[in-house]
Structure 1
Amino acid sequence: MSGTNVGRSSAGLWMVGGAALLMVGAVAAIALTPPSGGGSAGTVSQEAPPHATPPGMVWVGGGDFQMGSEEPQDKTNPDRLRPDEFPRHRVQLGGFWMDVTEVTNAEFAEFVEMTGYKTFAEKTPTREDLARSGLNMSLVPDKALVPNSLTFNSKFDREALNRDLPQWQYQVWQITPGADWRHPDGPGSSIEGRMNHPVVHVNWEDANAYLGWAGKRLPTEAEYEYAARDGGKDLLYPWGNERDPGGTAMCNYWQGDFPLDNTNSDGFLTTSPVKSFKPNGLGLYDISGNVWEWCHDFFRADYYSESPRKNPRGPEDSLDPDEPGIVKRSQRGGSYLCNTNSCTGYRTTARMKGDFLTGTVHTGFRGVVDDAGYEKFVAAQAKIAEQKKTK
């Protein structure tokens, strides 16, 4: 299943979640980099990190690489490459530190305890809130303005499921009142025993709130792909070019026919504890699978044709051809709901997009720090340490 691209599904209901509206049944001044084919192996700087590497992070040396995918020669497109991954283009990045894992429930809980922060999903949304996403508020009834978030509906109507419809996956999603990071599946659920799982039901602003407190920031799409590809190497997956080498699942994804059958051969029906699978060559865990991860960038499907070469930070605004009026941010990495017949988001070049105000049951994040932001990081961590002393 794709990321939080909340759009239109097929059950005939209006539902509002965060800033997203589901309507089932609708159809849904740096030199520019020229399109480039050919080798995509990156050139990684061997320079040492400029400062001590923070605990729980890994240094990703800067370099240049060919970002994106080559257009498939095989018309069957077995890897389900998407047009927004083209054209492949050269990008040059500075070095940065990246969190080894996704931010966990335990880490987010500490942030909430120390700051009193409430996520978007925990608050009653106002019309002014939702309008910021570009949503047509005339379509939103007052009764829909309740705390809620987007969850997977395991009880979807199997007989009515129609996978010939555009964006058919939305038939198995639902807006769930009371779903939030503490209650990932809605009222009655909890994160007890799951404190080392990635936090979910956090929107783009929630992720930035946590990272601002910690003195970090979200990675750009380019940084995320570069890190997932072990410094820009020509890798289809973070671990190589075979999804399941030796028949072994290398990340948490949906095994079986989505959404009808999950063989659960990896042992995880939903999120998995961080570090459940081997890291990539840089030491990054779950850089593919488990949960989609927010990136800094606005999402534009056509951005690769005009992306700056050096340290691209995304376009100035968003444009999703499927929902051109909705403000969206980029996501990377795929999730436990990704599968070959639905999406292949666990590929290193795969892109996704989400309404920036909408969190979901399979969306989380991790942070980065660069040299320019290191002093800010140190100051933020010192402030946190001092605050802990007073508790």
Structure 2
Amino acid sequence: MMQKWAFGAAAGLVVLTGLTVGYWLLGRDASPEAVAAIQHCSAAPANDRIWVPAGRYQIGATPRYREEAGPQEVETAGFWIDRHEVTNAQFARFVAATGYVTVAEQTPDPADYPEIDPAALVAGSAVFGVSAGEGYWWRFVPGASWRAPQGPGSSIAGRDDYPVVHIAYADAQAYAAWAGGELPNETEWEIAARAGHVGTEFEWGDEFRPDGQWRANSWQGPFPVIDTGDDGFVGLAPIGCFEPNDLGLVDMTGNVWEWTSSPFSADPETGTIRGGSYLCAPNYCARFRPAARQAQERDFSASHIGFRTISRDPAL
């Protein structure tokens, strides 16, 4: 089931289409606003987790999409959760220690995809961008991976404190186990994101920009043509560039989608990602709200999917 649409026109399976424009959204030089914003970002220790106490919590809100649940009370044991999304530096240490190879770096087995031309089955991942004449929001880019987020020729040099991307579910699970933890389920993720805010539209309240302040890395401008970077960033941002929530967690809204351990439905191959990404905007995709959820094939990876981990060991 590996992201079949992503093998491109050769397989005739591209299904995500958009505007045809002559503008690349990735690979642009950082704006002066972004440079200034990065100077205020807070790097964190490699193992920086925050405790969420056991108790009863209210999650959910008035649904905006049919897959969302309304307000409900839930109960949880206490758990530790990463203050920030797992970074390139953290993931690199994991790979160096274990020799792990991500799903995006593996060539698919033709036996698993008999309907696809074997020549089209190459290692790679989905990269967001719109280019003249193509008309696609996403492209499958051979060679794209966490090491080369935009494909061959790109790298993560100088981006140690950026969230790692091009992460499939198995990759996130493997890292979490190595780090002595696991992935949060949807309930745990939303409890942490809300940080005590009951029924609010966003993790910090009901206004997207309280007092005119940007609170998350999101999309500004006409999607998918131009992200103006008014919040200081075009594309990904390093961790900790925006005010933390009331638990001290950063980037629970926007920046990159985060894997949870919860299935989206009865289909075991479809997982759930939460939190939205830098591609979300109030006027386009409002799934960066804490009550929102998104289905995602578990063997899929892309330039806006990452994760964070939890531990249920109170003695950590």
Q: TM-score range by the shorter chain?
A: 0.7 to 0.9
| 2:60–2:199 contact (8 Å) kept in structure 1 | no
Q: C-alpha displacement at 1:238, in angstroms?
A: 1.7
Distance 1:329 1:266 in 2: 30
1:276-295, aligned counterparts within 5 Å?
A: 276-295=241-260
Distance 2:203 2:238 in 1: 18
Matched, 1:62 2:54: yes
Which amino acid in the other structure matches residue 120 of structure 2? A
| 1:204–1:294 contact (8 Å) kept in structure 2 | yes
Specify the alignment match of 2:235 in structure 1. Answer: 270
Matched, 1:235 2:177: no
Distance 1:280 1:260 in 2: 30
Distance 1:55 1:82 in 2: 35
SS of match in other structure, 1:151:
strand
Distance 2:121 2:232 in 1: 37
Aligned pair partner of 1:155 in 116, 131, 135: 131
SS of match in other structure, 1:227:
helix
Matched, 1:107 2:99: no
Specify the alignment match of 1:163 in structure 2. Answer: none
Which amino acid in the other structure matches residue 174 of structure 1? R
Specify the alignment match of 1:117 in structure 2. Answer: 100
Inter-CA distance 246–147: structure 2 relative to 1 (3 Å threshold):
same
Inter-CA distance 67–318: structure 2 relative to 1 (3 Å threshold):
farther
Which amino acid in the other structure matches residue 318 of structure 1? D
Aligned pair partner of 2:267 in 315, 318, 339: 318
Distance 1:261 1:55 in 2: 36
1:118-137, aligned counterparts within 5 Å?
A: 118-128=101-111, 131=112, 137=113
Distance 2:183 2:309 in 1: 5
Specify the alignment match of 1:368 in structure 2. Answer: 310
Distance 2:218 2:16 in 1: 25
Aligned pair partner of 1:173 in 138, 153, 159: 138
Q: C-alpha displacement at 1:263, in angstroms?
A: 1.4
Percent of counterpart pairs with the same letter? 41
Matched, 1:358 2:307: no
Q: C-alpha displacement at 1:143, in angstroms?
A: 1.2
Matched, 1:329 2:271: yes
Inter-CA distance 173–15: structure 2 relative to 1 (3 Å threshold):
farther
Q: C-alpha displacement at 1:232, in angstroms?
A: 5.4
Which amino acid in the other structure matches residue 291 of structure 1? V
1:211-230, aligned counterparts within 5 Å?
A: 211-230=176-195
SS of match in other structure, 1:70:
coil
Which amino acid in the other structure matches residue 122 of structure 2? V
SS of match in other structure, 1:22:
coil
| 1:225–1:232 contact (8 Å) kept in structure 2 | no
SS of match in other structure, 2:67:
helix
Distance 2:246 2:161 in 1: 22
| 1:101–1:274 contact (8 Å) kept in structure 2 | yes
1:82-97, aligned counterparts within 5 Å?
A: 82-97=65-80
Q: C-alpha displacement at 1:124, in angstroms?
A: 1.0
- Deviation per residue, 1:127-146 (Å, 9 max, x gap): 35xx4xxxxx3431101211
Matched, 1:13 2:9: yes
- Deviation per residue, 1:183-229 (Å, 9 max, x gap): 00111111011110000001000001111111100000011111110
Inter-CA distance 24–194: structure 2 relative to 1 (3 Å threshold):
closer
Distance 2:92 2:189 in 1: 25
| 1:226–1:232 contact (8 Å) kept in structure 2 | no
Inter-CA distance 341–143: structure 2 relative to 1 (3 Å threshold):
farther
Specify the alignment match of 1:76 in structure 2. Answer: none
Specify the alignment match of 1:22 in structure 2. Answer: 14
Distance 1:274 1:211 in 2: 18
- Deviation per residue, 1:149-189 (Å, 9 max, x gap): 0001231548x6xxxxxxxxxx3111000100010011111
| TM-score, scaled relative to structure 2 | 0.84
SS of match in other structure, 1:86:
coil
| 2:202–2:289 contact (8 Å) kept in structure 1 | yes
Inter-CA distance 83–186: structure 2 relative to 1 (3 Å threshold):
same
Which amino acid in the other structure matches residue 224 of structure 2? P
Larger Rg: 1
Which amino acid in the other structure matches residue 107 of structure 2? T
Inter-CA distance 367–24: structure 2 relative to 1 (3 Å threshold):
closer
Distance 1:55 1:124 in 2: 32
Which amino acid in the other structure matches residue 290 of structure 2? T
Inter-CA distance 22–66: structure 2 relative to 1 (3 Å threshold):
farther
| 1:6–1:22 contact (8 Å) kept in structure 2 | no
Inter-CA distance 223–107: structure 2 relative to 1 (3 Å threshold):
same
Distance 1:141 1:208 in 2: 30
Inter-CA distance 65–6: structure 2 relative to 1 (3 Å threshold):
farther
| 2:126–2:301 contact (8 Å) kept in structure 1 | yes
SS of match in other structure, 2:14:
strand
